[in-house]
Amino acid sequence: MISNNPNFDNHERVLFINDAPTGLKAIIAIHSTTLGAAVGGIRIWPYDNDADALDDVLKLSRGMTLKTAIADLPLGGGKSVIIADPKIHKTPQLLHAFGRAINDLGGSYIGGEDVGMTVADVVEMQKVTKFVAGSSQGENASGDPSLQTAHGVYLGIQAAVAQRFGRDGVAGLSVGVQGLGNVGMRLARQLHANGARLVVADLDAAHIEEAVREFGAEVVEPVAIHGADLDVFAPCAMGGILNAASISEMKAKVVAGSANNQLQDFTDGQRLKRAGILYAPDYVINGGGVINVAGEALSKYDPAAINAKVRNIPRILNQIFERAHRRNLTPGEVADQMAMERLEPLARSA
C-alpha cells in the first residue's frame, strides 16, 4: 500500500497513469491543496524502477507544499513524474497524453518545467490542457522559470555567505556547482560575474566545455565535487546528495543550491549542523521558479511583484538562520516549522 511508503505524508491523491498507445507511464502526487491548487513540475526521468519513481514524486510533492507555503503563495503542493528518457521517449503524443491526464484532475494540479521538461514542452501541452504554467506563449506567459530560480539561489548564497563567513558577496570564494542545466549554468554565470572562482561538474561534456570556456572553471567528477576544496557547495542536479558519506567528506562550510530533496534523510540536517556546515533549505532557496510560475498560474502575472518576491528569499533565509541559532535547531527544522505555521491554521479551519 502507498500509505506504508515512508515518504507518504497524508497525500491527498496519488495517481498512476498508463497510456499504451503512447508508452506513457507516469505518477501524479497531490500532497496538499490547503492553500490552493497544487502546483509542481513535471519531471521526465528514466527511473530504474517504479518504486524509485514513487519515492521521488512523494518527496517532491511534499516539498512543493512547503515551498509554496513559505513563499506565501496561494497554491498547494504537487508533483508528477513521467518514467521515460526525455532524450529518447519524449514525443508530442506522449506529452498530449499526459496533458489529458492532468485535465482529468479538473484544475487541482498545475504542472510545469522540471528535469527533462522544457518551455517548448509546456507550449506543446497547452494544445490539450490549460493546467500547465511556465509557457512562452499567451497573454499571461511567465516564460522560463529557471531564470528566477537561479537568481533566487544566487541571492540566497549571498545571504548564507554573510551568515557563515560574515562577509558581503562571493568575490574570491570558491563555489562548486554540481549540475549545469538551465538553473546551474545561469547560477554559475551570476557567480562568475560577481567574482567567485568556479568548480563545476556535469555529466554533459558540452555543458562542461561551455563552463570552462566562459568562466575558466575547474572541472571535477560529479561524484567527487562535494569533497572538493570549496567555500560553498551548490547542488543543482538530482536529490539525495547530502548524506552521511558525502557530509563526512565536505570541506565547504555552506551548502546552498537549487536541487530538490538535497538531504537523503532528515538526520542529515543534524550531521551538517554538527560539522559546522550552514545549510540553506532547498525548498526555500530554490523558490524563485515557483514564484515566477505562480504569476501565470494565478492569471495575474506581474513582473515587478514576482521580482520583489524573489528578492525576499534572502530575508526568509536570514529569519531561518537566526531562529535556528537561537533555538539550537537545524535550518531545515526551522523552515518546516515556518511553513507549517502558515498551513496548520488553514487546515484546521477547513
> In terms of Cα–Cα distance, which of 41, 101, 48, 98 is closest to 294?
41
Asked, for residue 296, whether it belongs to a domain, the answer is no
N- to C-terminal Cα separation, the chain: 27
Q: Which of 67, 79, 90, 309 is catalytic?
A: 79
Residue 28 lies in a domain: yes
Q: 66, 96, 125 — which closes off a domain?
A: 125
* Of 290, 258, 333, 265, the residue nearest 76 (C-alpha): 290
| CA 114 vs CA 44, 85, 118, 345: distances in Å | 8, 13, 7, 30
The CATH number of whichever domain residue 183 belongs to comes to 3.40.50.720
| Parent domain of 243 | 146-286+316-339
Which residues on neighbouring strands pair with residue 19, listed in sequence order? 24
Please name which of 284, 270, 278 lies closest in space to residue 252, comparing C-alpha atoms: 278
Residue partners of 321: CB distance under 8 A and separation at least 6: 159, 160, 163, 278, 331
C-alpha cell, 346: 488553514
Q: What is the DSSP letter of 225?
A: G
Our count of domains for the chain comes to 2
Residue 212 lies in a domain: yes
Residues whose CB is less than 8 angstroms from the CB of residue 274 and which lie 6 or more positions away in sequence, other chains included: none
Total-model pTM: 0.91
pLDDT tens per residue across all 350 residues of the chain: 687 888 899 999 999 999 999 999 999 999 999 999 999 999 999 999 999 999 999 999 999 999 999 999 999 999 999 999 999 999 999 999 999 999 999 999 999 999 899 999 999 999 999 999 988 887 778 888 899 999 999 999 999 999 999 999 999 999 999 999 999 999 999 999 999 999 999 999 999 999 999 999 999 999 999 999 999 999 999 888 999 999 999 999 999 999 999 999 889 999 999 999 999 999 999 999 999 999 888 877 888 999 999 999 999 999 999 999 999 999 999 999 999 998 876 555 44
One domain, residues 89 and 176: no
98 & 221 share domain = no
Task: Look up 79 and say whether it is catalytic.
Answer: yes
Considering only CA atoms, which of 271, 274, 263, 233 is closest in space to residue 335?
Answer: 263
Label residue 255 exposed, middle or buried (CB < 10 Å: 0-12, 13-18, 19+): buried
